[in-house]
């Protein structure tokens, strides 16, 4: 945020994302309780400080009646949040359908839905219409709250049609759009039937951001190959108008995690777990229960490790926190079924526990902030991170982690053994990134120093000038 020059900025910031940072649960006709929402987008944006920001989004619940809507709007206002009310039908077509059954798998290289392919093809048009209608509903709420000079920051694959809605309303609005998932190779992206409309809409934004340079590069080549537009070092040019495109790798608020370690409830929890697993090494996985996270592959790799290293039996335990997510999306349902077959049980524990090894085996992942959170919680412990090379975080944490191809369970099993048997000198060396964070650094800054910057991509100065 500091890099963008937004910290302490005078303009107001309107963050627009499908999901609000808090999700609502109804406790009575006009009674609501709010709890923090799960997922990388929320973790990342909770680190935004010293900015006059409001957040517009869906509270994750259907509220058909006016009394409920008024009470929820009031409760959310205290959190500087503004709700967009989506009814069940639109949630089904837009959120479960177009966003999470079409765009999500496609952007993570799983292709268009395999199951029930013909039905999906037939429903495609109606789901895309619902997607555009939903984006218009977000835009309508933005118009109600917009004041001249506000900066509007749209987030993620749910809202690719929003930049166009906003600019059609007022060409002078300052609009940014940031993607929290990978942007796939143009060879994958071009299979999407609505590829033209979505690219054209995103290009209505003034600034388009991605987690990594690769994603930005894929986006620029999609614009070149599909729309025939020219990619320049600053972005994409269309009839003399430039949309700036750049990589802004997000980090986390690492102090929040360090502070959590000092809380007495967390300390008590750590003691309980330490006692419970005494004499055993602990490996931890923390993921939303999503097909892209590679949880079944992780369990198969762990099984292989135990088969090939019988000495480790009874000396190591794998704890997997699996947060239920998108439970109405068919793929998310089937992953639960697969996991039930693979595991006898899944245990929920606090993220702040300090296990010996963290295992992140995403098949694709925009960034994967859990890996940052694990590193931030280490202190002097120097646990080892095994990290999928297909997570955006591999481009920054690579030097301080053991990188694996999660599809290769033999390689992951060997990495597990290596991680468990590392001596403290090796761990010190392989967790170099931890030290950077301890020096009061932010992950994003650490990334800036360690990554290779391809010469053809937009320069930082260009972004600063824009802002």
Per CB under 6 A, residues contacting ligand G6P are 19, 38-41, 156, 180-181, 325-326
Distance CA 105, CA 429 (A): 36
Least Å distance between CB 328 and ligand G6P? 10
Phi-psi region of 323 (alpha: psi -120 to 50; beta: other; left: phi over 0): beta
**155 or 427: CB nearest ligand G6P:** 155
CB of 289 to ligand G6P, least distance (A): 10
Contacts 24+ apart (CB under 8 A), 455-458: 456/217, 456/233, 457/213, 457/216, 457/217, 457/233, 457/246, 457/247, 458/216, 458/233, 458/234, 458/235, 458/244, 458/245, 458/246
The residue sitting closest to ligand G6P, measured at its beta carbon, is: 39
CB 191 within 8 A of CB 111: yes
Question: 379: Cβ–Cβ under 8 A, 6 or more apart, which residues?
Answer: 258, 261, 354, 438
CB of 342 to ligand G6P, least distance (A): 23
Strand partners, 371: none
Cα dihedral 83/84/89/92 (nearest 10): -80
Token pair belonging to 384: 């080892």
Angle formed by the axes of helices 295-308 and 330-342, to 10°?
A: 20
Shortest distance in whole angstroms from residue 181 CB to ligand G6P = 5
Given the complex with ligand G6P, which of 43 and 434 has the nearer CB atom? 43
CB of 159 or CB of 404, closer to ligand G6P: 159
Reading phi first (left if > 0) and then psi (alpha if -120 to 50, else beta), residue 80 is in left
- Cβ closest to ligand G6P, residue 132 vs residue 293: 293
Give me the least distance between CB of 293 and ligand G6P, in Å please: 11
- Residue (of 136, 1, 141, 132) closest to 57 by Cα position: 141
DSSP element (H, E) containing 283: strand 281-288
**DSSP H helical segments within 146-194, as ranges?**
162-169, 186-189
Is the distance from CB of 195 to CB of 144 less than 8 angstroms?
Answer: no
Alpha carbon of residue 186 to chain centroid? 21
- CB-nearer residue toward ligand G6P: 19 or 354: 19
Nearest approach in angstroms of CB 19 to ligand G6P is: 4
- Taking the least distance from each CB to ligand G6P, the nearer of 315 and 333 is 333
User: At closest approach, how far in Å is the CB of 185 from ligand G6P?
Assistant: 19
Closer to ligand G6P at the Cβ: 34 or 413?
Answer: 34
Residue 399 DSSP one-character state: G
The residue among 162 and 357 lying less far from ligand G6P, judged by its C-beta, is 162
CB of 339: closest distance to ligand G6P in angstroms? 18
Nearest approach, Cβ of residue 107 and ligand G6P (Å): 9
Q: How far from the centroid of its chain's Cα atoms is residue 190's Cα? A: 23
- Considering the complex, what minimum distance in angstroms separates the CB of residue 406 from ligand G6P? 18
Q: Is the dihedral of CA 421, 425, 287, 274 positive or negative?
A: positive
Closer residue to ligand G6P, CB minimum distance, 16 or 419 = 16
> What angle do the packed helices 369-376 and 443-450 form, to 10 degrees?
110
Q: Considering the complex, what minimum distance in angstroms separates the CB of residue 154 from ligand G6P? A: 11
Contacts of 278 (CB under 8 A, 6+ apart): none
Strand order in the sheet with 357-360: 316-323, 281-288, 357-360, 384-388, 402-404
Q: Cβ 168 to ligand G6P, closest distance in Å?
A: 24
Provide the pairing of β-strand 230-232 with 235-238.
antiparallel
Is 141 or 435 the residue whose CB approaches ligand G6P more closely?
141
Of 156 and 234, which CB lies nearer to ligand G6P in the complex structure?
Answer: 156
Comparing CA positions, the residue from 259, 324, 311, 294 lying closest to residue 409 is: 294
Taking the least distance from each CB to ligand G6P, the nearer of 39 and 398 is: 39
């Amino acid at each position: 945020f500091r890099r963008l020059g937004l910290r302490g900025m005078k303009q107001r910031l309107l963050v627009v994302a499908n999901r609000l940072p808090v999700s609502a649960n109804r406790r009575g006709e006009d009674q609501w309780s709010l709890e923090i929402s799960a997922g990388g987008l929320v973790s990342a944006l909770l680190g935004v400080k010293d900015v006059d920001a409001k957040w517009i989004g869906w509270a994750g619940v259907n509220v058909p009646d006016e009394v409920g809507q008024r009470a929820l709007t009031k409760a959310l206002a205290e959190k500087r949040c503004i709700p967009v009310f989506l009814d069940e039908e639109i949630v089904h077509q837009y959120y479960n359908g177009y966003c999470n059954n079409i765009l999500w798998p496609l952007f993570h290289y799983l292709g268009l839905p395999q199951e029930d392919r013909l039905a999906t093809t037939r429903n495609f048009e109606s789901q895309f219409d619902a997607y555009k209608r939903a984006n218009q509903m977000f835009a309508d709420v933005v118009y109600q709250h917009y004041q001249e000079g506000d900066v509007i920051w749209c987030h993620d694959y749910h809202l690719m049609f929003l930049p166009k809605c906003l600019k059609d309303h007022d060409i002078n609005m300052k609009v940014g759009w940031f993607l929290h998932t990978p942007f796939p190779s143009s060879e994958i992206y071009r299979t999407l039937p609505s590829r033209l409309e979505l690219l054209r809409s995103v290009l209505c934004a003034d600034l388009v951001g991605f987690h990594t340079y690769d994603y930005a590069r894929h986006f620029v080549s999609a614009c070149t190959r599909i729309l025939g537009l020219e990619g320049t070092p600053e972005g994409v040019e269309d009839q003399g108008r430039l949309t700036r495109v750049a990589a802004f790798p997000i980090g986390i608020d690492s102090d929040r995690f360090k502070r959590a370690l000092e809380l007495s409830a967390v300390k008590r929890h750590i003691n309980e777990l330490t006692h419970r697993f005494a004499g055993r090494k602990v490996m931890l996985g923390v993921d939303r229960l999503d097909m892209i996270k590679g949880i079944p592959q992780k369990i198969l790799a762990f099984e292989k490790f135990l088969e090939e290293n019988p000495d480790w039996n009874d000396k190591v335990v794998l704890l997997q926190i699996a947060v239920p997510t998108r439970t109405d999306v068919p793929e998310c349902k089937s992953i639960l079924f697969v996991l039930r077959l693979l595991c006898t049980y899944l245990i929920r524990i606090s993220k702040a526990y300090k296990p010996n090894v963290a295992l992140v085996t995403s098949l694709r992942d925009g960034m994967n902030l859990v890996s940052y959170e694990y590193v931030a919680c280490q202190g002097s412990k120097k646990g080892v991170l095994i990290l999928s090379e297909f997570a955006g975080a591999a481009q920054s944490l690579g030097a301080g982690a053991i990188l694996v191809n999660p599809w290769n369970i033999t390689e992951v099993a060997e990495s597990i053994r290596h991680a468990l048997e590392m001596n403290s000198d090796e761990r010190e060396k392989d967790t170099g990134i931890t030290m950077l964070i301890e020096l009061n650094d932010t992950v994003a800054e650490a990334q800036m120093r360690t990554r290779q910057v391809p010469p053809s991509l937009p320069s930082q100065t260009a972004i600063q000038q824009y802002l």
